[in-house]
Structure 1
Amino acid sequence: MATTSHTLKRVFVTVGVLPFLLIAALIVFTMASDNFLTVQNLTNVVRQSVYLVIVSLGQMFALLTGGFDLSVGTILAITSVVGALTMSTVAGAVPDAPWIAILVGTLGGVAAGATIGIANGIGVAVFGVSPFIMTLGISSVGFGIALYLTGGTPVYGMPQTFGDVFGFGTLWGIPVPIYFAVLLIVVAWLIVNWTRLGRYFYAVGGNTKAAALSGINTKGVLFVTYIICATMTAIAGMLLTARLDTGEANIGASMPLESIAACIIGGVSLRGGVGRVENVVLGALFIVLVQNGMNLARIESYLQTVVLGGLLILAVIADRMRIRMMASLQD
């Protein structure tokens, strides 16, 4: 009996809570709807998960350093609004050159989102403000700016080509946004596993003082962390804008919770220094899969937020249990 318990603990420590949650979700939603496990629906889940996957990858970098970014929703909103406004303005000035409008608008939107990351990085790294306070404050400021720029109404006037290609386009039968997600997954994996900066993320999150004593510029690492997070989120913001075909100031309200949940469910530790890119991708896919299953089961959207919050709490509890089990196995 003791051997079985020890084996189960080792399995849980190794794989985390995600496989168990995934199996439970597949069983429950397959029983709830005959359409859940169809190829068409699963393909739809992958396409819908693109935006959360990209944002969660950025969130992962912040969590690896022992912080988190509550402003990812604002970054999506600012990126969408600025990108759409810029694109529609340029398109109005040069209506016969849609790709120039798309390029300028995309660069403007991503730059606006990255600027929020710079502000977060300065606050956290230079002034030593808590990531919670800094990103929460920036979130409020950013949403206010986005609403001011739009007056609370959607922004139209972008070239139709933008939505047709980057929102609904396909290449060899695969939706275009999926290619962006795969590219960013590869980039994030290479940064984390094959660069000195990637090792620094883990070192700073594991023990900031020890990292500083070993010669790592911890402030520089933290500054870069929030810029990377914001830039990746901004790219997701432009892709989501193409999908919606409008600039929206309220598109990212649920993204902070969902991205953090995806990371924690994927095994990224809130304490910092622990996390893998592939597990974060699976965590994001799991959350979108659960949302899709609840939609097919006709569960009200208000109750869906309850389930998502419960999953986050469950993942945090599982993370604490995993840490205790690791300690007990080492003793």
Structure 2
Amino acid sequence: MSNLNTETTLTTKNKTMAKIKDLFENQEVLILVAFLLLCVIMTIINDQFFTASNLTNVARQISINAILAVGMTFVILTGGIDLSVGSVMAFTGTIMAGMMLLVGIPPVYAVLIGIALGTVIGYINGMLVAYAKIPAIIVTLAMMEASRGLALLYTGGYPLSGLPQSFTFIGRGYAFGIIPMPVLIMIIVYILAYIILNHLPIGRYIYAIGGNEEAARLSGVKVKRYKILAYLISGVTAAIAGMILTSRLASGQPMAGVGFELDAIAAVVLGGTAIAGGRGHIFGTLLGAMLIGVLSNGLNLMGVSPYVQLVLKGVIIIGAIYYSSWRQKD
């Protein structure tokens, strides 16, 4: 009887240890632990970190990168990449500002025009990748340059300032008096992305394309259509992020969003999405964006050079990709 009890106890312990091991091999859990640990460290190091004003500022900053990273998640899940999102942010943002200041149309219509423009740019990226068979990195690199150039041409290289208060409320105001508007928009975008990826056939097809494109095609999935859709979503989220940033700055900045594509890719990869596609979760992307936002804010409070921060982000991306590749081999 005692031997039976001993065997049962050992089996229970082994199962518990296996569950703990699986838990800590989950990249989302690791990022959540790292995020909480980083928050504690930053609070200890700098007494300005855990203040209402700074946390609100961090939340607003995170929301922009987190929204960009949603579209990037869709693209990377298909095995692609979108380097144009930062420039698309700037271009659509300056167009929104120009529509209000130079044309005089109401903010709501200016926003719709900007989002429609982001949709068109995403569609063009997707068409070139899916039908012209041009590598995604080449297509989106070219679109990054073109969109930035168009933003500079449209504004003459100068910011468009003096936007109406009804528009700046998007980036600076509060919903229900407590939730920053950018955070509310971010929550809505993530809910929609979660529904699409986890509860609609579109999501299954996107995962299937990234997992094995040829197998997905032979299974009847319209691969080209869903590739285009992924880049289209990336264009839309870039335009939404551009709207928030333009509203926060109260001006259309043609040089806004430089390097934001790096932060978006870092958030996606850190969150556990395989850089080769086919595996990942939208909740992990949000955790990745939160970690990067807190890290950047903490380093700024500590007076760390922005050049050093770029080096750190590069190292983080390489480390996350290496870990993702290592997990995939196992």
TM-score (norm 2): 0.90
Instruction: Give 1:202's match in structure 2, choosing from 195, 199, 207.
Output: 207
Pair member with larger Rg: 2
Of residues 280-289 and 299-308 in structure 1, the stretch that sits farther from structure 2 once superposed is 299-308
Q: Is residue 182 of structure 1 aligned with residue 187 of structure 2?
A: yes
Corresponding residue of 1:168: 172
Q: Aligned letter for 1:166?
A: I
Superposed CA offset, 1:116-155 (max 9, x none): 1111011101111111111011111111111111111101
SS of the residue 1:10 aligns to? helix
Q: Aligned letter for 1:241?
A: T
Q: Aligned letter for 2:249?
A: L
- Which residues in structure 2 correspond to 1:1-331 (within 5 Å)? 10-16=22-28, 17-91=30-104, 101-163=106-168, 165-172=169-176, 173-324=178-329, 327=330
Q: Aligned letter for 2:320?
A: A
Of residues 204-213 and 48-57 in structure 1, the stretch that sits farther from structure 2 once superposed is 48-57
Q: Aligned letter for 2:298?
A: G
Aligned counterparts of 1:223 and 1:210: Cα–Cα separation in 2: 18
Instruction: Verify the 8 A CA contact 2:129 2:139 in the aligned structure 1.
Output: yes
Q: How many aligned residue pairs are there? A: 314
Aligned counterparts of 1:104 and 1:34: Cα–Cα separation in 2: 43
Of residues 121-130 and 42-51 in structure 1, the stretch that sits farther from structure 2 once superposed is 42-51
Aligned counterparts of 1:219 and 1:228: Cα–Cα separation in 2: 14
Instruction: Verify the 8 A CA contact 1:79 1:112 in the aligned structure 2.
Output: yes
Q: Aligned letter for 1:58?
A: G
Tell me the C-alpha RMSD between the 2 structures: 1.9
Q: Aligned letter for 1:271?
A: A
Instruction: Verify the 8 A CA contact 1:90 1:101 in the aligned structure 2.
Output: no
Corresponding residue of 1:95: none
Q: Aligned letter for 1:70?
A: L
Aligned counterparts of 1:226 and 1:39: Cα–Cα separation in 2: 36
Instruction: Verify the 8 A CA contact 1:268 1:275 in the aligned structure 2.
Output: yes
Shift of 1:5: 10
Shift of 1:171: 2.1
Structure 2 residues not aligned, in runs of 5+? 1-13
Shift of 1:70: 0.4
Aligned counterparts of 2:62 and 2:144: Cα–Cα separation in 1: 23
Aligned counterparts of 1:9 and 1:133: Cα–Cα separation in 2: 40
SS of the residue 2:49 aligns to? coil
Superposed CA offset, 1:1-47 (max 9, x none): xx899777634432454245325523542332123234543333222
Instruction: Verify the 8 A CA contact 1:62 1:68 in the aligned structure 2.
Output: yes
Instruction: Verify the 8 A CA contact 1:266 1:280 in the aligned structure 2.
Output: yes
Corresponding residue of 2:6: none
Superposed CA offset, 1:279-306 (max 9, x none): 1111101110001111111112221112
Shift of 1:272: 0.4
Q: Aligned letter for 1:46?
A: A
TM-score (norm 1): 0.89
Aligned counterparts of 1:112 and 1:306: Cα–Cα separation in 2: 33
Aligned counterparts of 1:81 and 1:152: Cα–Cα separation in 2: 11
Instruction: Verify the 8 A CA contact 1:267 1:279 in the aligned structure 2.
Output: yes
Aligned counterparts of 1:244 and 1:42: Cα–Cα separation in 2: 18
Q: Aligned letter for 2:100?
A: M
Aligned counterparts of 1:312 and 1:276: Cα–Cα separation in 2: 17
Aligned counterparts of 1:102 and 1:154: Cα–Cα separation in 2: 17
Instruction: Verify the 8 A CA contact 1:88 1:101 in the aligned structure 2.
Output: no
Instruction: Verify the 8 A CA contact 2:35 2:290 in the aligned structure 1.
Output: no
Aligned counterparts of 1:50 and 1:71: Cα–Cα separation in 2: 19
Structure 1 residues not aligned, in runs of 5+? 92-99
Instruction: Verify the 8 A CA contact 1:59 1:229 in the aligned structure 2.
Output: yes
Superposed CA offset, 1:208-263 (max 9, x none): 00000000000001011100110011011111111111011111111110000000
Q: Aligned letter for 2:216?
A: A
Aligned counterparts of 1:37 and 1:309: Cα–Cα separation in 2: 27
